[in-house]
Amino acid sequence: QQQVKQSPQSLIVQKGGISIINCAYENTAFDYFPWYQQFPGKGPALLIAIRPDVSEKKEGRFTISFNKSAKQFSLHIMDSQPGDSATYFCAASRGNTGKLIFGQGTTLQVKP
């Protein structure tokens, strides 16, 4: 049973455009929602994270929007750059277990 569903599977955006990746979760006990960025041959790296007590968090060009009632959260990449081309994973965890449940990933390609 997949607890975190991510879409789209792949995304192509022009340089300067907005990239949007969506995730939905099932377990209402989840209380930490990070996004990870992964380049080929590398391990994932934390990009930005949010807790459910806020609806939005922004760090530079990256914004997480969180909708607790809909059990959905999304990553927005403003002014997308070719260097943003990577695979992005949303994730969720519960309490202090630390165990991350990941979405299936989105491969983003930003065209120059």
For residues 7, 10, 12 and 13, what is the CA-based torsion angle, rounded to 10 degrees? Answer: 30
Specify the 3-state DSSP secondary structure of 84. helix
Stretch that binds other proteins, among 12-20, 41-49, 55-63, 64-72 (CB under 8 A): 41-49
Q: Which is nearer to other proteins, 43 or 112 (by Cβ)? A: 43
**Residues of span 43-72 touching other proteins by CB under 8 A:** 43-46, 49, 51
Q: How far apart are CA 16 and CA 112, in angstroms?
A: 9
**Contact range with other proteins by CB under 8 A, out of 12-20, 54-62, 67-75, 88-96:** 88-96
Nearer to other proteins, 99 or 112 (CB): 99
Please say which residue, 20 or 100, places its beta carbon nearer to other proteins.
100
Spatial contact of 38 and 108, defined as CB atoms under 8 Å apart: no
Residue 1 has, within 13 A of its CA and on its CB side, a CA count of 4
Cα 2 vs. chain centroid, distance in angstroms? 16
Q: Which residues make up the interface to other proteins (CB under 8 A)? A: 4, 6, 31-32, 36, 41-46, 49, 51, 89, 91, 93, 95-105
